[in-house]
Structure 1
Amino acid sequence: MDPAILSFDEFLATQSYHLPVGDFLINLIIAGLLAFLLSYTYVHYGTALSNRKMFARNFVLMAMTTMFIITVVKSSLALSLGLVGALSIVRFRTAIKEPEELAYLFLTIAIGLGLGADQRVITTIAILVIIGLIIIRKKYIHTPKYDQNLHLTIASYSPDKIALGQIVSVLDKHCSTVNLKRFDESGEVLEATFFVKFNSFNDVENTKNELNSLSKSVKITFLDSQGTY
């Protein structure tokens, strides 16, 4: 056998690391606690429009699974190389509608990576600092005392389905700020979500009345942007 091949096989066989079971369990518990704390932060201080409680339920499982995979993989270079091939046939898809959801997923994975690499102190400090900054920003920087910013969801159904242009025209009349956040349309249903700002509650009432006058099939939902969870 080629000496180069033999030496490489010996290298793979000798490159191993065995984490004690006690340390593994400690890292697993810390990963679960940090992920739970992150999910609590996301539910109560996040701004995503989607159901944050349902989305946050995945954090603990994802962090602990990532930590387990990294712990096993780092025990052998051969396993590390095998993981590359395994991941090439695994396709993970999830409905990520807002950048904030992706940011929290990266934080969850970072918990698993850090503790899988047995970096308890650095991982714990980093996550706690990040969570602290999220809470401070939410409470003291971007939350005015009186906020009339709302998420407005409008759904219209056939045969009286209205066009997106008609909706925007109405909103422009009564809203000081109009931002389209999501738009879905099929042959039967049109659904649009906007981030809007009103100067008074009369503008809210006028907007609702004018949208209802466009079609009998319109369904309107106003949602406080600070309380979606």
Structure 2
Amino acid sequence: MKVSRELEAFQGRIGYEFRRPELLVRAMTHSSIASDSRPDNQRLEFLGDRVLGLVIAEVLMRDDRAAAEGQLAPRFNAMVRKETCAEVARSVELGSVLKLGKSEQVTGGRRKMALLGDAMEALIAAVYADGGFEPARDMVLRLWGDRVENVEADARDAKTTLQEWAQGRKMKPPKYEVLDRSGPDHAPVFRVVARLDDGTEAEGEAPSKRNAEQAAAKALLEKVSND
């Protein structure tokens, strides 16, 4: 199977060339454009989530042999959450090669956190199915890069940190508001804004309200630290 010029360039960005490029095509096919002859990436996403989890768990245990389970768990969650997968997807411009239906295209599907995160997990599974665990592991570690080394900062509870930051400046606790809930019931996407009493605010998206609040708090922390 011959792949498009765009997918050839994408393989260069991820550092892996498929022997069975149909796996790559499937990993980049969203359900909004799928058909009987063009299966979507949902089953690959399911597998990729597990492969990613094994890779991250392995490297976290290797890098800190003294860490207890209670220390490893938040680090692990920070590395495998949908937001992190989407960040990695953006770093390799995955959205540019996603195959989407018209409805998703017009609503900005190539930039949606949930779609990008799902497709990244599907890509990991596609590499695993094409070349085995070692190539999948190598790609994950290459694309996640220094995120793994800096995981301690990413694993902090952003809401607690933001509240402590506000209290230290004699401000009221931050407020959180759900701005939007989209997607099907089995795969919702919440968009939440975190707001300080001086009006400074930032937004976050996630598959749950709780995680969206954490994402918004993290974005607001980054914003106030750069001001």
Same fold (TM over 0.5): no
Higher relative contact order (Cα pairs below 8 Å, separated by 6+ residues): 1
Higher strand share: 1
**TM-score for the superposition, normalised by structure 1:** 0.28
